[in-house]
Structure 1
Amino acid sequence: MSEFINFNAAEPDLVVQRRAARDLCYSINTGLGDRGSLFQSLFGSVGEGFEQWGNIFCEFGRNINIGNQVFINANGVFLDAFEINIGSHVFIGPNVGIYTSNHDKDLVRRREYAESGAPVAIEDDVWIGGGAIILPGVTVGKGSIIGAGAVVARSVPAYSKVLGIRAQVFPLTMEG
């Protein structure tokens, strides 16, 4: 796991960069322009055969690097205060979140927009199921599968399967 770095999310330069990324995401999501060119402008790098369906949101964009033959389904959220490196032949399901930053746990520091974070790496041949969340500092090893709805807080060794968040059934009473 990567070492976390502190920063102030309200720095004026970061605010300007977020607005630029938001505008590019808006253009992509509403079909205002060539999606391929817009992704080239938004992301740090985009490999061959990249495909993305539906809406997408990222915080900065420039910190996202995409390998070859990557597919991202609809409604991905990529909070890229730090690098998100996605290898080749990666499939990312709908409604997946990849987050590189956290708000400070101390409420006074949180009011001052203090955050910390670390890069995320998704190695080659990974499949991330719908609704999964990858948290800051995580590396998902080559060939791994992240099950739908999983919340991944620790790095995953290569060729592993991560499954979690199984719902439990509880009887209802008349009071609820």
Structure 2
Amino acid sequence: MKHLNFGVMIVVMVMCLVSCSPSPQDKAEALVAETMKTMLYVPESYEPVLTLVDSAFAPSSSQDFAYKFAELINLTSQIKSVKEDVRSSKSAMSWNKRSYSEYKKDEYEESKSEYEMYSAKLEKLTTRMDALRDEVSAMTSDKEREFIGYKVIHRTAPKADLK
């Protein structure tokens, strides 16, 4: 009987200790309040309106995933630039197409070769991006998402009773 009472007492003490510690939500709200006091000029003149704390998960924290994702972002900007070059060279081709002067014919041929070069480059970049997107997708679907911390959204508003 003594062992049972001792065991129950230990369980109750552990439950009290666990329940007395602040939750991650409370810890995040306290940290946000502390941070806001250092960032605002007159922290007393603001009141918190909304604080949302949500768990943040990453698909993968491996370096390979990060490099491939960075390359995807880089390829996206390159594709955007090359699309603009394709559009520009196609426009130049249309302006110089029906001219009888040798100068305009040379400009047309130059614009046409640029158009073909940029179109081929765009095709290569698009193919590479599709392959890379498939690799990243495979990396994210194979693994469980890792917990990386909390995502906090905090909004403040000026207090109405300022004089």
TM-score, normalised relative to structure 1 = 0.24
In terms of fraction of residues, the more helix-rich structure is 2
Give the structure with the higher percent strand.
Answer: 1
- Which structure has more relative contact order (CA 8 Å, sep 6+)? It is 2
Under a length normalisation based on structure 2, what TM-score does the superposition of the two structures give? Answer: 0.26
Greater C-alpha radius of gyration:
2
